[in-house]
Amino acid sequence: MAATIAALTEAAGTLFSWPTPLWVAVGLILGMIAGALPGVGSSLGMAIVLPLTLPLGPINALVLLVSMYSGAMYGGSIAAILVNVPGTGAAAATTFDGYPMSKQGRAIEALSISATSSALGGFLTVLTLIAISPILIEAVLLFGTPEYFLMAVLGLSMIGVVAQGSVVKAIIAGAFGMLLTTIGIAPNSPELRYTFGSLALYDGIDFIAALIGMFAIAEMIKLSAQTGGIADSDIDLDGSVLAGIKTAISRPVTLIKSSFIGMFIGAVPGSGATVSNFISYGEAMRSSDNPEAFGSGEPDGVIASEASNNGTIGGSLIPTISFGIPGSGSTAVLLGGLLMHGLRPGPQLFDAELATTYTFMLALLAGNVFILFVGVFVVTRLGHLTQVDTKYIVPTIIVLSMIGGYTLRTNWVDVATVVFLGLFGYLMVKYNYSVIAFVLGVVLGPIAEENLIRSLQLSGGSYDIFVTKPLSLLIVIAILVILFGPVVKPQLERLIS
């Protein structure tokens, strides 16, 4: 205990010694920019900066990288709210209610809610990480491939929850999203699927390209028939910043629950913020007294998504610094930074380098305060972009989307994906098929398939592997509650009454 307090004291002194605060600010700003640009995101942004950190020394380098990671998580919500383009996969669920708020002239309020939720979600989970990391490390060790598969199924079971209108149409949309992810080389085998002899399709469809097309291009097609701005020019956008802060703080259950969902899922390698923000969104919708409001500008939707995606950071650091197992692409880059600066994950980081470890954890705490300040008092000013005429917005976003699609892997397949799914997404919205369900299928389909195959290989083809461990059984029960709860609950209430 004394060693921990001494290390925390040393870490706090280091963090507030110049130039470390400068690298916190630089990392956050670079991260926000990377997160706001579709196709860039935290992983690519951190990878570009990684070689440049060599002259900085271990502490400042890691502070810069973790600050970029945190900044990018928030930055992804900026474009998601303003123009329906999720800058990162972790901000995809933010578009569902953030963009409708922009169309209602509530962009500043939505950005303020996003900044507050993101900052508080990150702050809570990093603080918790510092306090209970030894316990959580043990929990992470309980997860194997069956649990990864079941977590993906848990996310897919949310399709029925988030469906607005026809559940059948939502299932069809989700199934089509999963079908698209089967293009390319099959997981755990050299089998080619639906490549039609094209070498460019071997790597499959990039889900970020799918998100850009489904959200950005589809919405721009819709906006092209509209005159004026995204929000009416006569709507008063001022005075919404405090309303956004109050809204986020006044819904502590959604904020805290989503933060810790993000932290828990982030601690499972291979899951990450893209999974957690859909599960958090679905849970917020499931437990809401007014679920039909989701998708039309419900603040709880923004709170759930943003609190969970920044909350994921604290969780994702657990396997990365404890076992050297990156929980996401961003933590893989962070792991590279650790090794590049001579720091080996594992006991070393919790013994000889404990002060260094606490320094970049405290940097995340300080960074979330910075996100709150910048997000509320600077980024919210961007809300006025929603009143810019769509004849300027539409071509600009389409060009940026094409560029973003190409920069993902520098091939024509991603550009074609952006265009095709943009047109397809427009038709889905027109005929009331759930875009949310489609995105769940695209994101979670590959995770479910890969871990299903691995689990069955381990068990020799037996499905008992999914119910033999207490944790697996617990997740199965959660899935059954989500699937059959809406049917069983009214009957139970009638019996009780």
pLDDT of residue 235: 45
Q: How far is CA 246 from the centre of its chain?
A: 23
**Amino acid 133: pLDDT:** 60
146 vs 463: CA distance, rounded Å: 10
Contact 83, 393 (CB under 8 A): yes
Cα separation, 345 vs 325, in Å, equals 9
**How many other C-beta atoms are found inside a 10 Å radius of the C-beta of residue 224?**
13
Hey, how many other C-beta atoms are within 10 angstroms of the C-beta on 303? 34
Do residues 302 and 101 lie in contact, with contact meaning Cβ atoms separated by under 8 Å? Answer: yes
CA distance 248 to 117: 6
Token digits of residue 356: 């260094």
Question: Is residue 184 classed as helix, strand or coil in its secondary structure?
Answer: strand
pLDDT of residue 327: 59
What per-residue confidence (pLDDT) applies to 236? 47
Regarding pTM above 0.85, the answer is no
What is the residue type of 81? I
Question: Exposed, middle or buried: residue 495 (CB in 10 Å: 0-12, 13-18, 19+)?
Answer: exposed
Cβ count within 10 A of residue 339: 12
Cα–Cα distance for residue pair 308/254, rounded to 1 Å? 10
Question: DSSP 3-state assignment of 446?
Answer: helix
Helix, strand, or coil (residue 231): coil
Are 99 and 294 in contact, with CB atoms under 8 Å apart? no
pLDDT averaged per 10 residues, the chain (length 497): 70 78 86 72 72 80 84 81 74 84 82 88 84 62 79 78 73 89 82 81 79 77 68 51 84 89 76 76 84 84 88 78 65 74 68 73 81 72 60 78 77 87 88 80 82 89 88 88 77 72
Structure tokens at 232: 């009416």
Range 359-386 burial, b when 16+ CB lie within 10 A, else e: bbbbbbbbbbebbbebbbeebbebbebb
